[in-house]
Amino acid sequence: MSNMMRALQKTQAGEGLEMTRVPVPEIGPDDVLIRVNKTGICGTDMHIWNWDDWAARTVPVPLVTGHEFAGEIVEIGRDVTDLSVGQRCSGEGHLIGRHSRQSRAGKFHLDPETRGIGVNEQGAFAEYLRLPAFNVVPLPEAIDDEIGAILDPLGNAVHTALSFDLVGEDVLVTGAGPIGIMAAAVARHVGARHVVITDVNPDRLALAARVADVVPVNVAEEELRDVFPRLRMKQGFDVGLEMSGNQRALDQMVETLTMGGRIALLGIPPGKSPVDWSRIVFKAITIKGVYGREIFETWYKMIAMLENGLDVRGVITHRFDAGAFREGFATMGGGASGKVVLDWTG
């Protein structure tokens, strides 16, 4: 292996990313080196590409971006005993500390000192990635690199969808982006009765209907409540999964939830968002914020479901060689795509 590699970097403050050549990372005793085969472009990467206020505040330059990946272990640190060269893997991109109360209690996903690859640390949009062995998730035969590259966002979807018992429940998913669509698919897979997904983008609603057995509703054109009689729902939705960050979507969710309903929030509003708290109180609604994936329970559940019939491949709508990354980002920015996957093997 040459000691230089291709990597997609934010080289300076401002819009865009550049394909550069940088040294292959050196690994420490507890790390592995992964040859990256496929990566997914995330909404987070779009924020970094666009260099919005959040990105400017958060991301150091220069930085190799990207955090959704699958590949193969090509080198292991001297203290790593439970992994081997040649193993296919994906991995958790949140690098946790070991000192917080939460970490020491084994609630790794709640560690306040978490740092993200491709956001705070060198990322996965590169031919090689260094990762702590702790973060590695080996991939079974049934999960190919393409699906391996979207386990991070699928994990967001799984973590959100499994926040509440969905068996026999009527579920509302607001926001038909890739994670919303995957959450809807998970809800069906685990036994929800009806899953209704809302958006105002007809392309995304059409994609949702292709990927999962769900009822798409374009709330720009149709009244959400009009689906109740069609689905023989008497009172309202039992569980809401908010994936859009859109305030009107959240209002509509509170409005159409049944008494004692439950809401998991993954969508991030752009700023402060007014909430009609009295309605939430009088409806006795439970709200849970969701961040990342449970480490590693979400990974375990997700892989088990993928091995047992959960099919989300349809959410990947575009594939590009890493060299054509500009087209990949333009496709993501266009708003009509599902997941966009870059191939680094060429």
Active site positions, annotated:
44, 47
Which residue lies nearer to Zn ion by CB, 123 or 153? 153
| Distance, CA of 202 to CA of 99 (rounded, Å) | 47
**Minimum CB–partner distance for residue 92 and Zn ion (Å):** 12
232: Cβ contacts below 8 Å, ≥ 6 apart: none
Q: Is 253 exposed, middle or buried (0-12, 13-18, 19+ CB in 10 A)?
A: buried
Which residue lies nearer to Zn ion by CB, 10 or 194? 10
**Minimum CB–partner distance for residue 244 and Zn ion (Å):** 16
Would you call 133 helix, strand, or coil by DSSP? Answer: helix
Which residue lies nearer to Zn ion by CB, 182 or 190? 182
Q: What are phi and psi of 332, to 5 degrees?
A: -60, -45
Residue 340 sits in the site that holds Zn ion (CB under 5 A): no
**Minimum CB–partner distance for residue 68 and Zn ion (Å):** 5
Q: Is 76 exposed, middle or buried (0-12, 13-18, 19+ CB in 10 A)?
A: buried
Which residue lies nearer to Zn ion by CB, 24 or 42? 42
Part of the chain binding Zn ion (CB under 5 A), chosen from 36-44, 168-176, 189-197, 284-292: 36-44
Which residue lies nearer to Zn ion by CB, 127 or 152? 152
**Minimum CB–partner distance for residue 63 and Zn ion (Å):** 15
Residue 42 sits in the site that holds Zn ion (CB under 5 A): yes
Residue 182 sits in the site that holds Zn ion (CB under 5 A): no
State the residue for tokens 């403050």: 13
Part of the chain binding Zn ion (CB under 5 A), chosen from 39-47, 143-151, 173-181, 315-323: 39-47
The answer to whether 224 and 247 have CB atoms below 8 angstroms apart is no
Q: Residue 7: beta bridge partners? A: 20, 126
**Minimum CB–partner distance for residue 299 and Zn ion (Å):** 14
- Residue of this chain nearest to Zn ion (CB atom): 42
- Alpha helices (runs of H) in 83-140, residue ranges in sequence order: 101-104
Site for Zn ion in 148-177 (CB under 5 A): 152-153
203: Cβ contacts below 8 Å, ≥ 6 apart: 335, 336
Which residue lies nearer to Zn ion by CB, 42 or 264? 42
Q: What are phi and psi of 205, to 5 degrees?
A: -65, -40
109 secondary structure, DSSP code: G
Part of the chain binding Zn ion (CB under 5 A), chosen from 144-152, 162-170, 214-222, 325-333: 144-152
Q: Residue 81: beta bridge partners? A: none
Q: Is 32 left (phi over 0), alpha (psi -120 to 50) or beta?
A: beta
**Minimum CB–partner distance for residue 153 and Zn ion (Å):** 5
| Distance, CA of 110 to CA of 304 (rounded, Å) | 23
Residues touching Zn ion, count (CB under 5 A): 3
Residues that bind Zn ion (CB under 5 A): 42, 152-153
